Structure 1
Amino acid sequence: MARVVEPSGSGAGVGARIRALREARGLSLSALAAQAGIGKGSLSELETGRRNPTLDTLYAVAAPLGVPLAALLDDHDGAVLAHHGMVTTRVRVVREPGRTTEVYLIRLAPGAERVSPAHSRGVEEQLVVLGGAGVVEYGGRTVALGPGDHVRFAADQPHAYRAGPDTELEAVNVIVTPVPLG
């Protein structure tokens, strides 16, 4: 399971951010849990900091809240997410009227795969491969990746990254999330 790694060593900050966003949107605990496809008890434990969130859970919660992953994470550059065979480091987040742009450095170990659920409507991702080889899958397409390759796709559908069997995949991942104005 993916675990969020925060400097404080706990998911309390993440939980507080989830609760604040849920309440700001007028969603009950039950409603958000149902929309995210997770148990109400699990969501309650996340919000109170009694459970550390997984990356999959954060993506599941971010979509119905209509926020980018960065809105839930420890809000500083350098924050790290660790997943079986994958390390993601937040490089930068730029918040502008109408959109949030997140930039991550991702490293997948040989043969590692990251399957991502659909992000919020209108989210777009780009990958620029720095080293290694692998594939990205989205919308029924499989695109081979190598050093210097760039791919851009709609991320409001399930998608996946996979490193080659014998090589690490290192890439810059840019996620652009439209933010409703007003």
Structure 2
Amino acid sequence: MKQEPARPDLDAVIRQRIRGLRVARGWSLDALAARCYLSPSTLSRIETGHRRIALDQLVPIARALDTTIDHLLEAVDDEDVVIRPEPQHRAGITTWLMSRETTVRGVTIAKMRFSPDHAYGPEHQGVHPGREWFTVLSGTMRVYLGDREMLVEAGDAAEFSTMIPHSIGAVGGPAEILTIFDRDGERAHMPAPLD
């Protein structure tokens, strides 16, 4: 009989996250304790599991670590860490969703392949709230941003406010990008989900 792997205790995970964030910042127990107004010994006992974690302690700890209670308490769900994106095709663009629907902070990560026949240009510029960021994995992309026109080569990245009229497309052959959209960018640029 195959035994299911043990799921980590959420309390232990929270303690690991607090210690991990503290260590990643290069802070001693004293440094974090001063930032969250707890004694170093209390913080040490919280990290080592010798003291129960109270909500009134988590709030200042999260604030001091520049995170949220939600992130500290986020359930551990690592059953399937591999994302197997399915291509979605529309108007000269193939899109692979590279993040899950429940991505933290409402961002969507996608790989997009633009064919040369994708219609873009000054006459196709649109606007929407938010910001857009992409890096070119292969090929060359042309960005129309208001009255400006820029080429973005493989290895380069672009970031801009999407309240400026914009349009992007491949130059001289197909091009692939990795892009990060906020919620507004996702609504504007991602294909509608398949039914």
TM-score normalised by the chain length of structure 1: 0.46
Larger Rg: 2
TM-score normalised by the chain length of structure 2: 0.44
Structure richer in helix, relative to its length: 2
Structure number with higher relative contact order (C-alpha < 8 Å, ≥ 6 residues apart): 1
Structure richer in strand, relative to its length: 1
